[in-house]
Amino acid sequence: MSKVLGFEEVSKHNTPDSCWVILYNNVYDVTSFLSSHPGGVKAILQLAGQDATQEYDPIHPPGTLETSLPASAKLGSIDQRTLPEVEKSPMDDGSAGSARPFDLEECLNLDDIEAAATKKISRKAWAYYYSAGDDLISKALNTSVYRKILLRPRVFVDCTNCDSSTSLLGHKINVPFFVSPAAMARLGHPDGEHGIAKACAQYGVAQLISNNASMTPEVITKDAKEDQVFGWQMYVQVERAKSEKYLERIHKLPNIKFIVLTLDAPVAGKREDDERMKNVGSQLAIRDVVTDSGGDADAGKKKKGKQGGTSVAEMLFAGTASDLTWKTTLPWLAKHTKLPIVLKGVQTHEDAYLASLYAPQIQAVILSNHGGRALDTAPPSIHTLLEIRKYCPDVFGRIDVWVDGGVRRGTDVVKALCLGAKAVGLGRPALFGLGAGGQEGVEKVFKILKEETKTCMRLLGVEKTSELGIKHVNTRAVEQDIYDGPGGLDELRPRLWQAKAKL
């Protein structure tokens, strides 16, 4: 029978010499494990002598504990009456969205959903989902740029029928949006990524699985319908063998139809809302590991990985390669997967053009500034879309172009499609939907957005997504702001043309 320990006793073991932690109501002695923790000593020591479940759970896939610790490490169970009271942590201070609804049923739009989730989830989860780089300028632009585009409804057109379906790389989806890869879904609700998958099944939505998902791809896809479409987001590891192994694992999951190679966060942006939370928040903040302490005349020479790991983020991201290039990474990938590649994080027409030259290995790009979480004042994807239209529309003929960031209305979805996007990704809306009501909350998000999308198509006088075109939108207010500097293409075109001959 398991021994029952009191919190006072446990809390004394809070040093490298004797380090206990409480996880899922059990007490573990992790002293000998400290040095081999992938995320570093410090991440554990911050929680030494305490209940670490809330921090541990959402970022460690199930089974981690069993495979990492010997059975002997489990000392017993905690006497729960002895635990200090903890912050119950709904954001109930009234500062956010007070006029917005609390209940899922009353939510009429995606802003309502965010407000409802904000009231329900922990401050930590909120900070992680809400935060973006620096001053949140790109995050705000992502949404406001859609508001500046006007629609051009055509009238006296039969709009009885309306079909919102489209296809992703040949796979039919019922609605022209998909779930962008977003980490840590279980922070917001225990349904996690699997709950999102089940909602996707209901609405025929595609889902891109984050490399840092809080559930394994196997679990996420286990209840998938036969025709359900998934993509798998890959962060290439420094040790390429690890990535190769993971690919093999992915190849066994038949619903995963393509690989999403994420390029827009080779190092992490500065997400201050998240950092201010100081615990999960800062641990998840994927900051530049080359941190300067005191003078740093030689800081530039420090190598990654040499410093003691200081955060859970390093556990997740340690080993993520920052040396990917067109020339080296794509050939390597070609050797290890036959799945089509989607490049996520393209933010200039130059890179979209480059990507298109690598078709058919690359079959799509996702224009994305990482939800404004990477580089602040990076352009919204709508800018990049307009750049491509202006400088190299031939890209649309070679690969698919998807976008994400800032979509909150069906009119936003339709506008992106009018400008040439094949589909639109949802990041925070899916997470906030999950936070607001688990799987059901995600379904509500899909339902709202699908209805809005179809109402918009009908009012434009359009029956099928393929009919949406540039004549349905007035983008003039945005076009005044897009890049018109020296054309990277003048450099790129001839060089690449030669190298690759004609496609």
Residue nearer to its own copies on the CB measure, 115 or 460: 460
What's the closest the beta carbon of residue 6 comes to its own copies, in angstroms?
A: 33
What's the closest the beta carbon of residue 53 comes to its own copies, in angstroms?
A: 26
Q: Which stretch binds its own copies (CB under 8 A): 65-73, 79-87, 158-166, 176-184?
A: 158-166
CB neighbours of 258 closer than 8 A, spacing ≥ 6? 168, 169, 231, 232, 339, 340, 341, 342, 363, 364
Cα(353)–Cα(362) distance, rounded to whole angstroms?
Answer: 12
Q: Which stretch binds its own copies (CB under 8 A): 81-89, 146-154, 183-191, 493-501?
A: 146-154
**Binding characters for its own copies, 166-185, by CB under 8 A (x = yes):** --------x-----------
Taking residue 165's Cβ as centre, other Cβ atoms within 10 Å add up to: 13
**Binding characters for its own copies, 26-65, by CB under 8 A (x = yes):** ----------------------------------------
Residue nearer to its own copies on the CB measure, 58 or 269: 269
* Residues 257 to 316 in contact with its own copies, rule: CB under 8 A: 263-270, 272, 275-276, 288, 290-292, 294-297, 300, 304
Candidate list 264, 351, 400, 412, residue with the active-site label: 264
264 catalytically annotated: yes
> Helices 349-357 and 381-391 sit at what angle, rounded to 10 degrees?
70
| Residue 346 contacts its own copies per CB under 8 A | yes
Residue nearer to its own copies on the CB measure, 23 or 416: 416
**Binding characters for its own copies, 360-389, by CB under 8 A (x = yes):** ---------x----xxxxxx---x------
What's the closest the beta carbon of residue 267 comes to its own copies, in angstroms?
A: 5
| Residue 325 contacts its own copies per CB under 8 A | yes
Q: Which stretch binds its own copies (CB under 8 A): 18-26, 122-130, 216-224, 467-475?
A: 467-475
Q: Which stretch binds its own copies (CB under 8 A): 63-71, 74-82, 155-163, 332-340?
A: 155-163
370 catalytically annotated: yes
| Residue 454 contacts its own copies per CB under 8 A | yes
Which has the closest alpha carbon to 136: 371, 367, 409, 346? 371
- Pairing type for strands 18-23 and 26-29 reads antiparallel
Write 86-90 long-range contacts (CB < 8 A, 24+). Answer: 86/51, 86/54, 89/122, 89/123, 89/124, 90/119, 90/120, 90/121, 90/122
128 catalytically annotated: no
Candidate list 194, 349, 370, 472, residue with the active-site label: 370
Q: In what order do the strands lie in the sheet with 26-29?
A: 4-5, 74-78, 26-29, 18-23, 14-15
Residues 201, 247, 318, 492: which binds its own copies (CB under 8 A)? 201
Q: Judge residue 485's burial from the number of C-beta atoms within 10 Å of its C-beta, 0-12 exposed, 13-18 middle, 19 or more buried.
A: exposed
Beta bridge partners of 207: 179, 230
Candidate list 235, 246, 353, 358, residue with the active-site label: 235
Q: For its own copies, how many residues bind (rule: CB under 8 A)?
A: 100
Cα(142)–Cα(298) distance, rounded to whole angstroms?
Answer: 38
Which has the closest alpha carbon to 281: 181, 180, 187? 187
Cα(22)–Cα(321) distance, rounded to whole angstroms?
Answer: 33
3-state percent breakdown (helix, strand, coil) of the chain, nearest 5: 45, 15, 40
Residues 54, 211, 465, 475: which binds its own copies (CB under 8 A)? 475
| Residue 79 contacts its own copies per CB under 8 A | no
What's the closest the beta carbon of residue 31 comes to its own copies, in angstroms?
A: 29
Work out the angle at residue 145's Cα, subtended by the Cα atoms of residues 282 and 350, and round it to the nearest 5 degrees: 80
What's the closest the beta carbon of residue 27 comes to its own copies, in angstroms?
A: 32
Cα(402)–Cα(425) distance, rounded to whole angstroms?
Answer: 7
Q: How far from each other are the two terminal CA atoms of the chain, in whole angstroms?
A: 69
Active site residues: 235, 264, 370
